[in-house]
Structure 1
Amino acid sequence: MDSLPFALVMISIFTHAYWNYLIKRSGNKHIFTALSKLAEITIFLIPAIYFLATTGFRMEFLLLITVAASITFLNYFFLASAYKYGDLSLVYPISRSSIIFLPIIAFYFIDERIDGIGISAILMILLGTFVMHMESPDKQGIQTILKNIGNKGSIYAMLAALAVAGYTLWDKISISKMEPFLYFYMYTFIVAICYNSMISIKFKKEQIKHEWRINRARILQVGFFNSFTYVLILTALTMSKATYVGGLRQLSIVIGAFLGYKLLGEKLTLPKIIGIVISIIGGSLIYWAK
């Protein structure tokens, strides 16, 4: 993997982990997430108008952004649901495990192939994620994994990971046909409208106002860092394979686990530490993969 896309993804893992931490700290996860999408399309409205005016819009783009919006909406819905039931340090690693699905669908849909180092890196990342779910580094710890994966938080997080794999591949296809930022902004706009329509029906106005009142600053931060993070990823996707970009993004679990431990008082057990180390080694190997 070339140095520039590697560096862009490395920057993104910090900002991505940070805005996930902010969602975990929110009151109502669905309201908070929906409002952050409104903040996002407001903050980046002027750049979007500029790119629309300079690059133009063709009807064929409608399919690209509609599919992207649908998959992204599912990701946010599953992610917010996962944080409702599970700890950041447990949910975040699973939700970032798109690498479980990405190599297969990338090979099937765009004939993307990875070398031996890449395969080794992905296997280590998957192993690291597996180990992080163990309560203890022994047989009993392995048995508890089935229990952890069976809870609602983990199930929703796995669905979020599948959605991430889906939109990562779709993004790789779409940005070869339209301007990356405009593509991202337009499907984000659709997601924002859909998500806020949902919460306006499901929740009372006072609940929505309350969430904005107590978490305004965090909502605005998530709105900014979400777009900033994914523009970095889209740029990296124009230069590298989707599987490697998706795999390297897994390193954000290290930051997520640390934030959960340091700021939310979540446990940082020995298996989690071992799993983090294995994941870091696996992510580092991607740099040498072709």
Structure 2
Amino acid sequence: MSLAIVALVLCAALLHASWNALLKSSGDRLASLTIMTIGAGIGAIPLVLFTPLPHAAAWPYIILSAILHTGYNVFLIRAYRIGDFSQSYPIARGSSPMLVSIGAALFVGEQMSIYTWLGVALVSIGIISLANIKDRHNLSGPIAAFTTGAFIAAYTVTDGIGARAAGNALAYSGWLFVLDSFPLALIFMWMHRRLPMAAERKQNWLSLAGGMMSLLAYGIVIWAVTLAPMGTVSALRETSVLFAALIGTLFLGEKLTMRRIFACIVITLGAVVLGWHR
């Protein structure tokens, strides 16, 4: 993996942590996430209009990925509703790189070196160790977060295969985000019998901005998995937890403990291993 790809994926990680922090800090998370998906869909329209249609072989993956993204969104909202940001985000993101690596090996036949496996393992272990499980007798929050991670792994492998089959990563991303903007909006309207608008107008604009962030962040990832192993890209993307820890400390009033600092060091070592042995 080239240093340029590593740098872009790390930028995507920062964007991803930023829009997740916006979602966590919102009052009505379902409304906010729905507006985010709509914003991403609107932002993807130029990609649909000005790129060639994806190859026919990619369309089943686009449709499947849109379904998986909807499941991811639903469980992400649940995880944030019943768990802390410092708990849910690390479990969800930390569980996915190893699952992606296994999925890519099983379904795509990707062969990874011992250094790549070491890097993925370090990132996953470091991220999961950031989770703050307060009540070990009530695991509904961690279970929801892990389920979210399983959806992340599933759609990442799906998009890795689909984007490679599409012939154009931008076209694949555009159609995926346009299709993904409908299901959550329909679910919200079915539940509330109204358009997905947050109570505060400022929150609506923030959610739209978060949607643009998610489009750019995951668009970079889709492009990257057409050029590099899925597990490696996934692990580097999940270093977003480092940025999430910083955002939580600076803007959400969360404490940066020694355990968190140590976990961040482990994640950084994993990212260095992945970037160096590319």
Match of 1:81? 78
1:260 paired to 2:258? no
Match of 2:113? 115
- Contact 1:117–1:288 (CA under 8 A) maintained in structure 2: no
Q: Secondary structure at the match of 2:239?
A: helix
Match of 1:242? 230
Partners of 1:268 and 1:116 lie apart in 2 by 32
Match of 2:87? 90
**CA distance change for structure 1 residues 200 and 187 in 2, over 3 Å: closer, same or farther?**
same
**CA distance change for structure 1 residues 59 and 216 in 2, over 3 Å: closer, same or farther?**
same
Q: Deviations over 1:50-71 (max 9, x none)?
A: 11xxx23555443121111111
**CA distance change for structure 1 residues 57 and 183 in 2, over 3 Å: closer, same or farther?**
closer
Match of 2:179? 190
Aligned residue identity for 1:278: V
1:102 paired to 2:100? yes
Match of 1:153? 141
Partners of 1:146 and 1:124 lie apart in 2 by 25
- Contact 2:62–2:175 (CA under 8 A) maintained in structure 1: yes
1:46 paired to 2:34? no
How far residue 204 of structure 1 moved from its aligned partner, in angstroms, is 4.6
Q: Deviations over 1:128-181 (max 9, x none)?
A: 1243236xxxxxxxxx68828x53332221111111111111111111221222
Aligned residue identity for 2:81: K
Task: Report the identity percentage.
Answer: 22
Partners of 2:118 and 2:53 lie apart in 1 by 42
Partners of 1:204 and 1:146 lie apart in 2 by 36
Q: Secondary structure at the match of 1:175?
A: helix
Higher Rg = 1
Q: Deviations over 1:7-27 (max 9, x none)?
A: 111111111111111111111
How far residue 121 of structure 1 moved from its aligned partner, in angstroms, is 1.2
Question: How many correspondences in the alignment?
Answer: 276
Partners of 1:151 and 1:271 lie apart in 2 by 21
Q: Secondary structure at the match of 1:147?
A: coil
Unaligned segments of structure 1, at least 5 residues: 135-143
Q: Deviations over 1:228-263 (max 9, x none)?
A: 111211221121100100111121101111111221
Partners of 1:48 and 1:239 lie apart in 2 by 21
Superposition pairs of residues 84-233 of structure 1, within 5 angstroms:
84-97=81-94, 98-133=96-131, 147=136, 150-178=138-166, 179-205=168-194, 208-211=196-199, 213-233=201-221
Match of 1:7? 7
- Contact 1:172–1:242 (CA under 8 A) maintained in structure 2: yes
**CA distance change for structure 1 residues 284 and 145 in 2, over 3 Å: closer, same or farther?**
farther
Aligned residue identity for 1:8: L
- Contact 1:132–1:274 (CA under 8 A) maintained in structure 2: no
The TM-score, its normalising length taken from structure 1, stands at 0.88
Unaligned segments of structure 2, at least 5 residues: none
Aligned residue identity for 1:49: L
The TM-score, its normalising length taken from structure 2, stands at 0.91
How far residue 187 of structure 1 moved from its aligned partner, in angstroms, is 2.3
RMSD value over aligned CA atoms?
2.0
- Contact 1:6–1:287 (CA under 8 A) maintained in structure 2: yes
Poorly superposed stretches of 4+, deviation over 6 Å: none
Match of 1:137? none
Partners of 2:200 and 2:165 lie apart in 1 by 37
How far residue 126 of structure 1 moved from its aligned partner, in angstroms, is 2.6
